[in-house]
Structure 1
Amino acid sequence: MPFHSYPLASRLILVVLLPLLAVVAWGWMQMRASLPAESTLTLSEGVSEPTVIARDAAGVPHIRATSEHDAFFAVGYAHAQDRLWQLELQRRMTRGRLSEIFGEESIDADAWFRTLGLHASTRSAWRALSPEARESLTAYTSGINAWLSERHPLPIEFRMLGVEPEPWTELDSLAWIKMFALDLGGNFDREMRHFVARQSMTEPQIATFFPEYPEDAPTTVRTGTPQVAATLGAMLDAQHRRQRNFGISVPGTGSNAWAVAGAHTANGAALLANDPHLGLRIPSLWYAISIDSPGLKVSGMGLVGLPLVVLGRNDRIAWGGTNMMADTQDLFFERTDPEGTRYEVDGRWVDFDRRVESIGVRPKFPQALRKRYVPVTVTVRTTRHGPVISDRYGVFDSPVSLRWTALDDDDTSYEAFYRLNFARDWNGFRAALRLHVAPAMNMIYADRKGNIGYVAAGRIPIRKRGEGVLPAPGWNDEWGWNGYVPPDAWPSVLNPPSGYIVSANNKVVDSRYPYFISHDWAPPARAERIEQLLHDTIAAGRPLSVDSMRDIQSDTLDLSAARLMDHLRDRLPEGGRRDAAADLLRDWRGEMQGGSAAATIFTEWMRQLRLQLFASRARADWGRDTASDLLSQMSEDVEYGDLLAVLREGRGGWCSRDCDSELGDALDAALWELHKRNGTWDMEGWHWSGNQFTKYPHMPFSQSKSLARFFERRIPNGGSANSINVAAARHQKSEGYVQTFGPGFRQIFSLDSAGIRHLYVNSTGQSGNVFSPHYDDMIGQFHDVRLQPLVSSYDRPSESEPIAHGPSVPDNTDGTTR
């Protein structure tokens, strides 16, 4: 229609809509301009020779360089292209500078990270590195800063928050290793829980929340005052907020890794599978990379902030890892003088080391109309044990300090992984890991000669007294550390008689091992299930393959839930709607598939039972908000095996009589809850994946409902905390079961004399830029456990180094610690 017939509409189009469309189009082009080119890029500045970054269909960079310096430079450049906002967040997190961009809500986190001194402790770690390791970090740092210096359009997060990225430094990389160690730690959290619980619980009740590892379960290697209690409770509350807001893993989290010798495989190749578990987020913590240079040929998954492949392979060996769950953190109560300026050491007073930290805080929106905040000043006290972590909570007469291996002056953890990238065989693998400090890890090995192996790597303290279960007196040497377990005594095995090695955060060694490692082992169900699947396949005479490894990674059977259901099968409550639920549960065997309605009913039933047995009684008994909230949270974590002990053995005296009344009441509450959530009484339609979903939060825009729709990703999911395909979810009233912890990636390797077949899938995508097609293109693949090849240019046997099957070093045939 002619515009003159509609003058008002034409003005609206010309004056408002067309300019608005032009602005949107310009903004879209600007945001797209922040993406790296999908085609091959050749770097010529900052490198000694032209260096190629060739991206494959998944956006993974394959780097070809003529020197290691140029290769690490290119890794930094690629990280800046794909994950610049992630790098900025990581740098600010370890330095305690989040409040400068997020405002007052981040002050507590900044104070915490400043107190730990993650970044400050990297100066001594830098001095402990070899010149070659330092050079790799310097080259990587130069690559990141080269991208910044070219003034490319910035990702949208920078623009929306008005933030300019600052140059990266080598110490920022080292600090991120310590944050990674903190993510996999958490012993001090467990110590605080244990201490607070002891104020009001009996020993049998405490055993429900802090159980011993079962004697017959798998091992990887076969061989205070009320004021103090209130303070620890407040510290736990703050810790839980940090875990929720910043994706820090909760205690007890872990991973899966296993290796199979060629004697049990279809083509004689050694197999290795790995899927490490951490707090989920978008983008993923992990970044796929491939490097081909004359001295370094390596590919796999690296951590953003580091130039290395952390878990992956080179042209000779492959390696995976899981959290060892070692107790490497201890809390110490310190005795102070009346002024709080000195603390006691063996009968004498010693001055605290003090430093003052200033935290800048961004005003609330709109900044122009708000007064600027005065910087928050934090005084950090340090004792001989480490930083005092309780000062923020106002208790100075019994301060609590933290001893942690990751804060040691000579932390050479980066050196260990640097050398691991160059390892050629079992001896090189072990030699590299001798330098590892934190986090303590189970490292699984396989090579092209058919060997499989395992090393428990990392510093494990030797305590003069006790086992670090509770905070200890710090005013004398009676409870201190007496060095570390020597590397020669680290649990280790090569080519065990079984032909396979399994690590799923289960207990590492049996009772014959002479050193204490931990009480914090994960429940054994995942390790038992992996061993069961491997053993049954081998016993049936069926060869294992890459497809077998993939099937195991996708397995959702929860053995712990199955055992509990076996006990409950003859005790199912009856009458009314209970009968329909019982019909679904009676034939259920612990399978947590997404389409299972029985899995939904069982999970909610057990949640309601925990609330009735533990949380509600705790509130009545304790009568204190902090302690009540703490035990309510702890009740959610009572594992099915321990719940079985309560029901079958009466452990802790939690049930009023025989628990039958509690079981019936809990089932009624569960059915009403599921009816409200699903909107129907058709129980067969209560599919588990309709009640549980995986959430990949974005920092910080998941905090805004409107922005979360654009930046955050969610997908329905099955699985449970004890299934191999882990889905450790927490119940949230408005949303059901929300999984924010699980595998960060999956990898499978097949190694033989002809080469290495390498399959992988990342949890979200390769890019951290929401406008990239690789921002979330792997979420569906990951959910379906569809791995894809990571093919590197060096995937061919070396003519100068022929490879034959057979062990390269003598077998450790008895399978004991070496």
Structure 2
Amino acid sequence: MALIFKWLLRIVSGLLILSGLAVALIYFFASRSLPEYSKDLRTGYVSAPVEIVRNNANVPHIFGERDEDVFFGLGYAHAQDRLWQMVTMRRTAQGRLSEVFGTRTVDIDQLIRRLDIYPLSVQSVESLSDHTRAMMTAYANGVNARINEVNTEALGRGAPEMFLFNAPVAPWRMADSLAIQRVMALQLAGHLEDEVLRARVSLLIPDEKRLSDIMPDEPGKGITALPEYAALVPGNPSFIQTADYEPHPLSPFKPRGLAGASNAWAAAPSRSAAGGTLLANDPHLELSAPGIWYLARMELSSGGVIGGTIPGIPAILTGRSARLGWGLTAAHLDDQDVLIEELNTANPNEYRTPDGFKEFRSRNSIINIKDSEPITLTLRWSDNGPILPGRFFDLKTVTPNGHVAAVSWTALSPNDTSMEAAIGLMYADNVRDAIDAAEKYVSPAINLMLVDRETIGFKTVGANPRRAALHQSQGRMPSLGWRRENRWQGRLPYASNPEFVAPIGGILGNTNNKTVDRAFPLHMSFTWGDTQRIHRWERLMQGRQVHTRDSFIEAQLDTVSFTARSLLPLVAADLWFTGESAPEGTPERQRQRALALLAEWNGEMNEHLPEPLIYSAWMRALQTRIIKDELGPLEPEFTHLEPLFIERVFRDVDGAATWCDVIQSSAKETCADMARLALDDALIWIDEKYGRNLESLRWGDAHQATHDHQVLGEVPLLKNFVNIRQSTSGGDNTLQRGKTIGRGPDPFLSGHAAGYRGVYDFADPDSSVFVIATGQSGHFLSRYYDDMAQLWRRGEYVPMSLDEELARAAAVGITRLLP
């Protein structure tokens, strides 16, 4: 027995030693790729020394004698901190993920190849000016300098992920940056899915009024400029099955409801306490670790520029110079159409056009797949755009036999000059210069919020398709591609895009809300990204005569839900404080406790409160009960609360209360009945998941921000190191927006939020602040991987200063790039 014990002890000890050595070896190789920020590096790409001074938040401040050298420094800094992210995004844009990740990403590659993202980017390089190409070339050289350094000095392949997913890293090209910019357009797009879903719902609900209930056009006039403050001071096919396409975490194609969003608002000197213009901006994208944003400062010949960049793109996309500040929001311009093409029964390689049948343009494309045989695709295009298989975007559910679906989309232009506009914006001196520079912007359509030292302005930028007045569906549903009136007829002039400069009221803002109300075909869109947050924003802006940097921050972090405040009185009107007190432990008693809590609630979606969870679970259960019998298999497509729908139903707008009656039952259910039953459903779900004690519930337990690593986030044990999870306030319809994922066992996880926040004060520009949601580094062993995460969660910021001495005084490292 003693001998057995002795050998067991030796074996266990040996295993522990081997495990320790393995961990030490893994750490050694992984840590080799940690960037060294204090060093000199000689490179043939620069003509004079370039300095990258990293302040105490690890924000690189880049100085050089020529602008090309500064862009080189930005490329080098991006590659130092986010090389894995950059090469993965490039592979996404090229449709080459499967070479590294195998069969799991084949669907992404197929869809990207069919959209022709990378070849179109290569073509677009020729459309850029010499100046833009020079800056982009310098940026690419900076990325390549880091790649060369990694290879020659054996720096752990540049990132820990490179060991697990080993693949050669090709040199960076200008087209790579243009392709990544197009990938961002994919993430912001949402009209295609809306078109298809509207068509599917119309097949089940032919009544136009009921279709307008569940998928309404946004009501009311457009809101961008607020009025003067003093004036407001008083005295076809029938298929309905769901397609089998499941998005991968790396997919740029986001589920409906999770396309781009953002907030931006500005105040003129007349509405600023300090007498300078103010600007706040927080773009919303899918959360990840590392996040998509990266903070940087570039000292150009025109002066310093500082703000948020996206690694791979050589431009500060939201930020400020000493003279100009700019922010962006998703414009939700309708820049996508689905066209149904009729095939020639005698020759399926031809499709019908207004002038007869015509042969598809086509070519083959090979997708290489790790550990599997390659796939050869036949890519096809009609005059209306690329042909997509029916399994993508649920297109097969609206495409009749003998037909295929084509997609018209401004993001597929072979002459996209959006990068030229983005770089030109950094050189602009004032609001008018910025609006002029943005004319070259094509896609994705965005709203630019602009301030200089004296003026505020707003301009929607991006190509707006010109549709015929007789378009069959006005772009709201798939239409027949061979009808001349359904085809795009170029683009509307830039001057027709909404523009507001120096409004009388002194306040501009956008929360993805409706900006203008113009009749088709000069309209912007029938569906927008927000009908709720805008009302809370209006109240906060008009609640003060003048604003400060801090009041703008307060608005940016506001967590009061206008939606909850407006819906609860409607939904619970017949339930508040009714009936006798029920016995303890009964469902009736639990319902009364929940209603008592909600009756005293002010709509604040605070992470520490129980009411937001009760409210959210109730509204989710209510919508499911109301639509399930009418929509059947399409009910899961509505993953988030549709506030306008609930309001129409409970106000009985145009007879919308009929939704409350269950078709399959003989009884006549009222909306009060549905509200009561749904509350019971919600409380049962809460009891099973979080416990029966309602007072001890926390919204933050359900509403955790999911900054997950897109590749390693599901790996056991490792996910505990690479994923960043945080209890957060806010919700789908608060200014501090934390859009819930809306599906799965944890539907209230926050997966889409402001990855960047910035507030710029031109009364004292160096008092401006910004922050990102995770950290500057993409290396999970770096102290800068998640050092801003808690600041972001608590609503704190870091200084956004162009003071060179301040950056140097607190520098964590200075890199000198030498000729």
**Fold conserved (TM > 0.5)?**
yes
The residue correspondences of 1:429-448 to structure 2 (distance < 5 A) are: 429-448=434-453
**Distance in 1 between residues matched to 2:390 and 2:519, nearest whole Å:** 41
**Within the alignment, does 1:241 sit opposite 2:251 as a pair?**
no
**Within the alignment, does 1:197 sit opposite 2:210 as a pair?**
no
> Which has the higher relative contact order, 1 or 2, with Cα contacts under 8 A spaced 6 or more apart?
2
Corresponding residue SS for 1:298: strand
Q: Which residue of 1 aligns with 2:682?
A: 670
The residue correspondences of 1:521-560 to structure 2 (distance < 5 A) are: 521-538=528-545, 543-560=546-563
Task: Pick one of 579, 586, 601 that aligns with 1:588.
Answer: 601
**Within the alignment, does 1:138 sit opposite 2:137 as a pair?**
yes
Please tell me whether the aligned partners of residues 732 and 738 of structure 1 are also in contact (alpha carbons under 8 angstroms).
Answer: no
Please tell me whether the aligned partners of residues 122 and 171 of structure 1 are also in contact (alpha carbons under 8 angstroms).
Answer: yes
**Distance in 2 between residues matched to 1:121 and 1:384, nearest whole Å:** 16
Q: Which residue of 1 aligns with 2:427?
A: 422
The residue correspondences of 1:392-407 to structure 2 (distance < 5 A) are: 397-407=402-412
**Distance in 2 between residues matched to 1:349 and 1:674, nearest whole Å:** 58
Please tell me whether the aligned partners of residues 195 and 471 of structure 1 are also in contact (alpha carbons under 8 angstroms).
Answer: yes
Q: Is 76-85 or 152-161 further displaced after alignment?
A: 152-161
CA drift at 1:241? 2.2
Q: Which residue of 1 aligns with 2:514?
A: 507
Corresponding residue SS for 2:378: strand
CA drift at 1:755? 4.2
Corresponding residue SS for 1:537: coil
Task: Pick one of 299, 303, 319 that aligns with 2:326.
Answer: 319
CA drift at 1:270? 0.7
**Distance in 1 between residues matched to 2:566 and 2:277, nearest whole Å:** 33
- Name the amino acid aligned to 1:358: I
C-alpha distance after superposition, 1:645-699 (max 9, x if no partner): 11221516211232122111111111111111112x2211112112221101212
Corresponding residue SS for 1:119: helix
Give the 3 Å change call, closer, same or farther, for CA 727–398 of structure 1 in structure 2. same
Please tell me whether the aligned partners of residues 297 and 794 of structure 1 are also in contact (alpha carbons under 8 angstroms).
Answer: no
Q: Is 80-89 or 523-532 further displaced after alignment?
A: 523-532
Percent of paired sites with the same residue? 29
Task: Pick one of 298, 301, 306 that aligns with 1:299.
Answer: 306
CA drift at 1:288? 0.6
Corresponding residue SS for 1:410: coil
Give the 3 Å change call, closer, same or farther, for CA 226–288 of structure 1 in structure 2. same
Please tell me whether the aligned partners of residues 41 and 52 of structure 1 are also in contact (alpha carbons under 8 angstroms).
Answer: no
CA drift at 1:763? 0.9
- Name the amino acid aligned to 1:82: D
Please tell me whether the aligned partners of residues 191 and 335 of structure 2 are also in contact (alpha carbons under 8 angstroms).
Answer: yes
Q: Which residue of 1 aligns with 2:220?
A: 215
Q: Which residue of 1 aligns with 2:283?
A: 276
Corresponding residue SS for 1:341: strand
C-alpha distance after superposition, 1:290-318 (max 9, x if no partner): 11143452110011111110111122101
CA drift at 1:16? 4.9
- Name the amino acid aligned to 1:355: R
Please tell me whether the aligned partners of residues 198 and 476 of structure 2 are also in contact (alpha carbons under 8 angstroms).
Answer: yes
Task: Pick one of 464, 477, 480 that aligns with 1:473.
Answer: 480
Q: Which residue of 1 aligns with 2:626?
A: 613
CA drift at 1:30? 2.6
**Distance in 1 between residues matched to 2:255 and 2:424, nearest whole Å:** 27
The residue correspondences of 1:582-731 to structure 2 (distance < 5 A) are: 582-619=595-632, 628=633, 630-634=634-638, 636-649=639-652, 650-651=655-656, 653-656=658-661, 657-679=669-691, 681-731=692-742
Q: Which residue of 2 aligns with 1:490?
A: 497
- Name the amino acid aligned to 1:443: L
Give the 3 Å change call, closer, same or farther, for CA 404–572 of structure 1 in structure 2. same
**Distance in 2 between residues matched to 1:126 and 1:527, nearest whole Å:** 38
Q: Which residue of 1 aligns with 2:752?
A: 741
Task: Pick one of 434, 455, 458 that aligns with 1:451.
Answer: 455
C-alpha distance after superposition, 1:562-599 (max 9, x if no partner): 11112234322753211111110112232211122121
CA drift at 1:401? 0.3
**Distance in 1 between residues matched to 2:18 and 2:686, nearest whole Å:** 50
Please tell me whether the aligned partners of residues 119 and 171 of structure 1 are also in contact (alpha carbons under 8 angstroms).
Answer: yes
Gaps of 5+ in 2: 228-235, 579-587, 662-668, 807-819
Q: Which residue of 1 aligns with 2:366?
A: 358
Please tell me whether the aligned partners of residues 259 and 444 of structure 1 are also in contact (alpha carbons under 8 angstroms).
Answer: yes
Please tell me whether the aligned partners of residues 571 and 660 of structure 1 are also in contact (alpha carbons under 8 angstroms).
Answer: yes
Please tell me whether the aligned partners of residues 559 and 730 of structure 2 are also in contact (alpha carbons under 8 angstroms).
Answer: yes
CA drift at 1:733? 4.9
- Name the amino acid aligned to 1:241: P
Please tell me whether the aligned partners of residues 221 and 492 of structure 1 are also in contact (alpha carbons under 8 angstroms).
Answer: no
Please tell me whether the aligned partners of residues 220 and 509 of structure 1 are also in contact (alpha carbons under 8 angstroms).
Answer: no
Corresponding residue SS for 2:733: coil
**Within the alignment, does 1:788 sit opposite 2:798 as a pair?**
yes
Please tell me whether the aligned partners of residues 614 and 632 of structure 1 are also in contact (alpha carbons under 8 angstroms).
Answer: no
C-alpha distance after superposition, 1:305-345 (max 9, x if no partner): 11110111122101001011000011101111123101111
Give the 3 Å change call, closer, same or farther, for CA 516–617 of structure 1 in structure 2. closer
Give the 3 Å change call, closer, same or farther, for CA 185–243 of structure 1 in structure 2. farther
Give the 3 Å change call, closer, same or farther, for CA 386–296 of structure 1 in structure 2. farther
Please tell me whether the aligned partners of residues 278 and 760 of structure 2 are also in contact (alpha carbons under 8 angstroms).
Answer: yes
**Within the alignment, does 1:751 sit opposite 2:762 as a pair?**
yes
- Name the amino acid aligned to 2:113: R
Gaps of 5+ in 1: 364-372, 620-627, 797-818
**Distance in 2 between residues matched to 1:795 and 1:248, nearest whole Å:** 43
CA drift at 1:180? 0.8
**Distance in 1 between residues matched to 2:680 and 2:238, nearest whole Å:** 38
Q: Is 469-478 or 705-714 further displaced after alignment?
A: 705-714
**Distance in 1 between residues matched to 2:688 and 2:745, nearest whole Å:** 10
The residue correspondences of 1:98-113 to structure 2 (distance < 5 A) are: 98-113=97-112
Task: Pick one of 320, 334, 349 that aligns with 2:341.
Answer: 334
- Name the amino acid aligned to 2:445: A
- Name the amino acid aligned to 1:562: R
Give the 3 Å change call, closer, same or farther, for CA 71–468 of structure 1 in structure 2. same
- Name the amino acid aligned to 2:737: V
Give the 3 Å change call, closer, same or farther, for CA 138–666 of structure 1 in structure 2. same
**Distance in 1 between residues matched to 2:685 and 2:144, nearest whole Å:** 53
- Name the amino acid aligned to 2:733: N
Please tell me whether the aligned partners of residues 55 and 61 of structure 1 are also in contact (alpha carbons under 8 angstroms).
Answer: yes
**Distance in 2 between residues matched to 1:158 and 1:247, nearest whole Å:** 24
Q: Which residue of 2 aligns with 1:516?
A: 523
Give the 3 Å change call, closer, same or farther, for CA 741–576 of structure 1 in structure 2. same
Corresponding residue SS for 2:735: coil
Q: Is 686-695 or 504-513 further displaced after alignment?
A: 504-513
Task: Pick one of 339, 342, 348 that aligns with 2:356.
Answer: 348
Please tell me whether the aligned partners of residues 187 and 252 of structure 2 are also in contact (alpha carbons under 8 angstroms).
Answer: no
**Distance in 1 between residues matched to 2:508 and 2:42, nearest whole Å:** 42
- Name the amino acid aligned to 1:611: T
**Distance in 1 between residues matched to 2:9 and 2:642, nearest whole Å:** 67
**Distance in 2 between residues matched to 1:699 and 1:789, nearest whole Å:** 29
CA drift at 1:617? 4.3
Corresponding residue SS for 2:592: helix
Please tell me whether the aligned partners of residues 141 and 169 of structure 1 are also in contact (alpha carbons under 8 angstroms).
Answer: yes
Q: Which residue of 2 aligns with 1:28?
A: 27
Please tell me whether the aligned partners of residues 76 and 146 of structure 2 are also in contact (alpha carbons under 8 angstroms).
Answer: yes
Please tell me whether the aligned partners of residues 564 and 641 of structure 1 are also in contact (alpha carbons under 8 angstroms).
Answer: no
Q: Is 190-199 or 241-250 further displaced after alignment?
A: 241-250
CA drift at 1:96? 0.7
CA drift at 1:483? 2.2
Q: Which residue of 2 aligns with 1:811?
A: none
Q: Please give the TM-score of this superposition, normalised by the length of structure 2.
A: 0.89
Please tell me whether the aligned partners of residues 276 and 745 of structure 1 are also in contact (alpha carbons under 8 angstroms).
Answer: yes
Give the 3 Å change call, closer, same or farther, for CA 557–507 of structure 1 in structure 2. same
Give the 3 Å change call, closer, same or farther, for CA 715–409 of structure 1 in structure 2. same
